[in-house]
Amino acid sequence: MRRLRSRRLQFGLAAPLLRLEVQRVAQFAQAGDLRALATALMREHYDPAYRRASAGARDLGEITMDGGAESDLDRAAEAVAVRAAAL
């Protein structure tokens, strides 16, 4: 019972911080600041285990997008597919 109560307290303290973080990230997305959004997510939420798991993976390089419109996403997805097929 004590352990369960402790977890409730931890979540209770973390919930306001989590809401602030969600709001901050949502502001980047709503403003269309994809670079700031991606940077914040990678710096603050990236799990280093992914890097270890993909240690032998090849780098596809950088794919630049002009914006976040559906057509931009389609072009970026096509570029990823072409580069992946060339491996």
The rounded average pLDDT for each run of 10 residues, N- to C-terminus, in the chain (87 residues) is 47 64 84 85 76 74 84 90 86
C-alpha span between 39 and 80 (Å, rounded) = 20
Whether residue 74 lies inside any domain: the answer is yes
pTM for this entry = 0.39
**Domain identity same for 2 and 41:** yes
pLDDT of amino acid 13: 52
Whether residue 13 lies inside any domain: the answer is yes
Whether residue 57 lies inside any domain: the answer is no
Whether residue 2 lies inside any domain: the answer is yes
C-alpha span between 30 and 27 (Å, rounded) = 5
Q: Which domain holds residue 82?
A: 62-87
**Domain identity same for 39 and 76:** no
pLDDT of amino acid 24: 84
Alpha carbon 69 to chain centroid distance? 18
Whether residue 35 lies inside any domain: the answer is yes
C-alpha span between 17 and 21 (Å, rounded) = 6
**Domain identity same for 42 and 66:** no
pLDDT of amino acid 4: 47
Whether residue 18 lies inside any domain: the answer is yes
pLDDT of amino acid 9: 47
CA end-to-end distance (rounded Å), the chain: 54
- Structurally, the chain folds into a number of domains equal to 2
* Helix ranges, the chain (H): 2-31, 34-45, 48-53, 70-85
Whether residue 39 lies inside any domain: the answer is yes
pLDDT of amino acid 54: 73
